[in-house]
Chains A and B, each alone.
Chain A
C-alpha cells in the first residue's frame, strides 16, 4: 500500500508528468509512422483503424501465447498489412489517399471489433516496465517513473528516424519521392514502390502504438479503447513539422494534457471537468489553426502530400 504522502500541487505536477509519459507512447508511435508515410508524399488517415487493429491483434496474440512481446510484433505486422492495402490502392491512378484512408479507418476498426470479440473478457500478460524511480521515497514519483520499454524504444526511434531521414540513403530517397514525383522519376526511383514502403513502415509503427494501448496502458482490450489517438496523431504530425524529434515533444504535450483533468479533479478542482477532458482536442484545434496561418510557410512539409498541394 502507499504511505499516502500528500504532495498537494506537486502531486498534480508529478501526475501530469507521469501521465505524459504513460499516455504519450501511442501518440509517439503513430505520429512517427505518419511522418514516414507523409515524407513519402501520402497521407494515411486510416491510422486510427490500424491502431485499433494493432491493439486487438497484439492483445489477442498475448492472450493466446502468453508472450506480450510477440503481441507487439504481431500488432506491427497487422498494421503493415492494413497499410499495404492503403499503399496498393493508392498506387492506382487518380485514387484519393484521403478517401482511402477514411475507408481504411472504418474498415480497420470494424474488423478489429469483429475479430476482437473473444478477447474482451480474458486478461493478457502486460509488457514489462523499468523502475526508474526506485531512488525516490515517494510512491507517486516511483509510479510516475515506471517507464515502459516501448516508450524508450519510441524515443530512440524518434532520434534515429530524424537522423536517418536527413543522412541516410533511404531517407533521401523517401524525401525526394515525397517532395517531387518528377525528380524521383528522373532519378530512376519507382515512386509507387517507395511510397508503398513508407506507408507500410508507418503502418507497422502505428500497429505497435496500438499494442501499447492494449498491452501496457491502460492494458485492456475493449471497443472504447482508442479515443481518437490515431486521428489526433495526424494533426500532431503537421504541428511537429514532419520532424520526428518534434513528434516526441508534441506527444509528451498531448499526454500531459490528457492527464491534466484527472489530476486536477483529485485535488478538488471538479468544475469544468468536461473542459479539461477536452484539453487534448482543444490543443489539436489550436495547433491546426496556428499551423495553418498564411504568414509562415509549413517548413518541412513534403511537396507531394495532398494536404499541402
Chain B
C-alpha cells in the first residue's frame, strides 16, 4: 500500500508520533496496512477526536516531560475546582472557593482551579485539561448546569471522580459521580431566630431569585425560625426572577426597607449588594452562601452557609478505594451546612439561643416542618402532631408554598 496518504491521514500520523498515549491513534497507525477505505474512515474518526481534544500536542509534550515527576509525587492527589463565575464574589462561587481553600490544606491534596467557566462544552474542555494536563483525580463541578457535561466526562474518564452540587444523581448515572448538597433551610432557621429577636418592627424581608424548591425551603426556614421566637412576626417576600442583577437587588432591598422590614436576607448569587444596602440604610441583614460579616460591621447578624468542604471525604474514600455514596444530602447533623460568625449587634443571650438550636439540629431534635402548619393562604399543610423529618427529601423537593406569616 504505497498510495499517497490524504492530508488528514498525514496529520494524523504526525499526531500519532507525538502522542502515543492515545490508544485509538496507535490502533489507527497499525490499521494503515489494511484497506484504504477502512483506513481513511478510521482516520477521520481519530482526527476528529484529536481535534476535539484541542491542544493535544502541548498535552503530549508536557505529559512526557511530567512523567518522571508524576512518578515521584504519586502520593499527591490533584483535585480540580471549576467555578461558573468569579470565585471571590461574596456568594455562591466563594462558598466553593472557601471549600477549595479548606481542601487544599489537607495533606496530600493539591488543588487546581478555574473560574468563569460557562455551562457549555467549554466546561468539558476545562475538565479534560485538568485531568490530562494537571493529572486531576477528582473534579468538583460547582454549577448546576454542569450536570450533562459531568455525566459525559465521567463515562469517558472512569478513573476520575466527579462531584456535582445538585444532588440529582439517580441509578443508571455513572458510578464515579457524586451529587451532594446541604440543607440550607437549617441555617436559615437560625438566621430567622436572630431576625425574630432583633427586629424592632416585627417585619422582616426575604429576597429570592427564582421560584425553586430550595428558595421556598430557605424562606420557610427563615420565617419559621423567626416566628418560633416571635409568633406575630411577618415576612415580605420578593422574587427578583434573576440570579444576578445588582440594580434590581438594591432596588428590592430599598423597597423592603421602605416597607418597614428591618432584617433582610437575600437568596441571590451574591448577596453583597443587598447586605451593603442594608448597612447603609441602617437595618439588619443576614448572609447567604459564604461569610459576609465583613461587609456590614454594624448590622450583620449571622448567615446561612454551605460547607462544600465536606466533599473532602469523597476524595479520601475514592483515592483509598473505600465505598462512597453517589448521593448525599445533609444539614448540621452531617456537617454539610454552616453558620456565619455573629455580628457585633447580636447580644450574647441571642447567640446562646441560636447555638442551642444549632445543637438541636445536630442532635436531630429540632424539626423545621412540624404540624400544625398552615401555608400563607390559610390552607392546612400539616396536621397537629405531624412531623416531617429534616432529611425527608421527597417532602422538601415538593415544597411550593410559603408558610403562614409570609406576605405576598
Q: List chain A positions with a Cβ less than 8 A from chain B.
A: 1-7, 11, 14-15, 18-19, 22-23, 113, 117, 120-121, 123, 126, 139-140, 143-144, 213, 217-220, 222-225, 227, 258-259, 261-263, 265-270, 273-274, 277
Contact = CB atoms under 8 A, between A and B. Distances in A.
Given A265-B408, A274-B241, A258 B248 contact: yes
Closest 8 A/B residue pairs (Cβ) = A4-B260, A218-B250, A4-B201, A224-B244, A262-B252, A121-B88, A218-B246, A140-B258
B262 A2 contact: yes
Contacts of A261: 248
Contacts of B85: 223
Interface in B159-215: 200-201, 203, 205
A259 B246 contact: no
A223 B240 CA distance: 17
B255 A218 contact: no
B154 to A, nearest CB: 29
B303 to A, nearest CB: 17
B128 interface: no
Nearest to A227: B245
By secondary structure, the B interface counts as: mixed
B276 A15 contact: no
B251 A259 contact: yes
B146 interface: no
B344 interface: no
B348 to A, nearest CB: 21
Contacts of B89: 120-121, 222
A220 B251 contact: no
Nearest to A275: B241
Q: Which of B203, B244, B258 has the most CB of A within 10 A?
A: B258
A277 B242 contact: yes
B337 interface: no
A212 to B, nearest CB: 11
B270 A222 contact: yes
B242 A11 contact: no
B256 A266 contact: yes
A262 B248 contact: yes
B236 interface: yes
Contacts of B280: 126
Contact of B247 (A6, A227, A267): A227
Nearest to A5: B260
27 contacts: A1-B200, A2-B257, A2-B262, A2-B283, A4-B262, A6-B260, A11-B255, A11-B259, A19-B251, A23-B251, A113-B116, A123-B276, A123-B295, A139-B257, A213-B247, A218-B277, A222-B270, A223-B85, A223-B86, A259-B255, A265-B237, A265-B238, A265-B408, A266-B258, A269-B408, A270-B239, A273-B240
Given A22-B250, A117-B86, 18 more contacts: A1-B201, A1-B262, A2-B257, A2-B262, A120-B88, A139-B257, A143-B258, A219-B273, A219-B276, A220-B246, A222-B89, A223-B86, A224-B246, A259-B251, A265-B255, A266-B236, A267-B408, A268-B408
Contacts of A144: 258
Contacts of B295: 123
Interface in B266-287: 269-270, 272-273, 276-277, 280-283
